[in-house]
Amino acid sequence: MKQLLGIVSIALLIASCGTKQKVSKTKNTEKMELTNKEKSLALLESLETGDKSTIAYINPTKYKQHNLAVADGLEGFGAVLQNAPEGGFKANVVRSFQDGDYTFSHTIYDFFGPKVGFDIFRYENGQIVEHWDNLSDIAPVNPSNRTQTDGSTTLLDIDKTQDNKELVKDFINTVLVNGGFDKMGNYFDGDTYIQHNSMIGDGLSGLGKALEEMAKNGITMVYEKNHIVLGEGNFVLAVSEGQFAGKHTSFYDLFRIENGKIAEHWDVMETIAPASEHKNSNGKFNF
């Protein structure tokens, strides 16, 4: 994993030969191309396995990086691998989804320390051309004894994907961006909401207690703009921008929808570093 030149050379060689896997048919077998979701899963897991063949899923000439701590392009990706700690990275993908040209994954990392994160990849012609993520340190269980990643992983209701995306988009904009907290009840089935935020307990009552406690301590959480909503079936990810405790913050919120209501929530908040510390100029969002 520390041989950057070797990694880049492999990627360029693969790209020059054409990386899109074609369907090859014989008399008795048919080999199918991997889905973009499967490619993203393999790439993330390769951080742990060291499988360099997954570099073929990245377009070596168009790869744009939105993790502001990583340099742009395939060279930046290779530099991260080159600086892996002894023993390498660890990556356990808990949930993975696909929405059109985008994939999004929920992952437990040992990435310069234990972390939880979301990764978004955008594909063109079967290759990754853009990457966004949000990372935070692993936290202890929340007041309801839930972790940041446990809970449901079952993908359902593919036919309801668009309706579920619209529900989450409306919730983010109506309640979190525009402050319509009196309308909270419209999006939940009573107080049966399952919460995985490390500071908040289950239900709307748990959220209310947490907000009250934050207010007592002078801590504010403000959503200013929703940038994108992605979904597959009953899982929807919203990426938003705002302020937490007075710091410029990126909010990634994953929701599970059940019977037209928000039933479960996971999130990762990341403080956005000042421009002087950015290693690329692509911005944290810019979808």
Least confident of 28-32, 71-75, 111-115, 170-174: 28-32
Which of 80-84, 171-175, 213-217 has the highest mean predicted lDDT (pLDDT)?
171-175
- Say yes or no to pLDDT of 14 above 80: no
Largest Cα separation within the chain, whole Å, is 71
Exposed/middle/buried for residue 23 (C-beta within 10 Å: 0-12, 13-18, 19+): exposed
| Res. 5 pLDDT band, cuts 50 70 90 | very low
Closest-CA residue to 129 (of 180, 181, 34, 59): 59
When comparing pLDDT for 123 and 113, which is higher?
Answer: 123
Please state, rounded to an integer, the average pLDDT across all residues of the chain.
89
Residue 117: how many CB atoms within 10 A of its CB?
22
When comparing pLDDT for 81 and 16, which is higher?
Answer: 81
pLDDT at 83: 81
- Rounded to whole angstroms, how far apart are CA atoms 8 and 219? 45
> How would you list the strands of the sheet with 235-244, edge to edge?
194-195, 261-271, 247-258, 235-244, 221-232
pTM value? 0.89
Residues 192-246: pLDDT tens digits? Answer: 999 999 999 999 999 888 888 988 999 999 999 999 999 999 999 999 999 999 9
Give me the sign of the Cα torsion angle 110, 111, 115, 121: negative
- Rounded to whole angstroms, how far apart are CA atoms 260 and 160? 9
pLDDT at 6: 37
- Say yes or no to pLDDT of 32 above 90: no
